[in-house]
Amino acid sequence: MVEQASSLTGASVSACSESAGGALAQPTAHSVSSVGHAVTPGPILLLGAPGVGKGTQARELMRLWAIPQISTGDLLRANVSQGTELGLAAKEIMQCGNLVPDDLVNRMVAIRLAQPDTLNGFILDGFPRTLPQAHWLDAELAVRPGALPIVAVSLQVDYNLLLRRITGRRNCPVCQRIYNVFLQPPQRDGFCDVDGAALVQRADDTETCFQGRIGNYQSLTAPVIEHYRAQGRFAEVHGDREVAAVAAEVISAVERMRSGA
């Protein structure tokens, strides 16, 4: 079972401060550390378009609450790079932002959610992104002993800035820190500030792929946002600000929703 979990999730059971892909989150200048401790976070959904800042914000929340980030994009990319059965099935589909079939992604998430570091909560980043995935998740959590209800935060950024964020993004393959050559450049061009590794660009971070990704987002994922808006415990946060300012608003929205206010 553990072996199966490792191959499907691309990560073994991880300490609370590790990301789903197994990389330790490194402190950043934007870290949020003085608020939000009073809350048991439970399941948090970060929703929003490609490049809106889900991964960036997830790293802030996981550091604050010591709960894991579960990024289906990161997990799928880990499977692709490890050449697992799932990775082989997903590789072509993901190349330019088409969606991997729901049953494969749901199965991967189920295995990840069964790991013990999710007990106090977890941040879902990039999942659910179709209505069938949302219905599957709702049913899964409804029978999970002691699970708090989902709270959902939808991040908003306008199209032109999304494009700049996507085309400028660079990732550290070692610590997974996210940079942007236009907006959040590393100190030394092309290399990670934390561990000095050469930064990489995702294959789907081109302008052409971005058009397709946005199209999929509008047709398949926008209904998911409406689904959670209709359930209540839903907040919208403008993502076009400093990382710390966005994080502070996401955290206070989660606190508010958890306290029932």
Residues that bind Mg ion (CB under 5 A): 55
**Quick one: which of 9, 14, 19, 56 contacts ligand AP5 (CB under 6 A)?**
56
The one segment of 36-44, 81-89, 124-132, 191-199 that binds ligand AP5 by CB under 6 A: 124-132
Active-site residue, selected from the candidate residues 169, 170, 177, 258: 169
Other Cβ atoms closer than 10 A to 179: 19
Q: Are 224 and 199 within 8 A, CB to CB?
A: no
* CB nearer to Mg ion: pick between 55 and 121: 55
Is position 25 an interface residue for ligand AP5 (rule: CB under 6 A)? no
Q: Which is nearer to Mg ion, 91 or 256 (CB)?
A: 91
Residue 144 bears catalytic tag: no
Q: Which residues of 47-82 are buried (b: 16+ CB within 10 A; e: fewer)?
A: bbbbbbbbbbbbbbbbbbbebbbbbbbbbbbbbbee
Give the tokens for residue 99. Answer: 């969606």
Q: Output the smallest distance, CB 259 to ligand AP5, in A.
A: 26
| CB proximity list for 222: less than 8 A, separation 6 or greater | none
Whether residue 54 lies in the annotated active site: yes
Locate 240 and state its tokens. Answer: 């076009």
Are residues 153 and 250 in contact, defined by beta-carbon separation less than 8 angstroms? yes
Cα–Cα distances in angstroms (integers) from residue 170 to residues 109, 164, 200, 203, in the given order: 25, 12, 5, 11
165 is catalytic: no
Residue 10 or 55 with smaller CB distance to Mg ion: 55
The question of whether 170 is a catalytic residue gets the answer: no
Binding residues with ligand AP5: total (CB under 6 A): 37
Residues making contact with ligand AP5 (CB under 6 A)? 48, 50-56, 71-73, 76, 93-94, 97-100, 105, 126-127, 129, 133, 165, 168-169, 178-180, 183-184, 204, 213, 239, 241, 243, 246
Residues designated as active site: 54, 129, 169, 202, 213
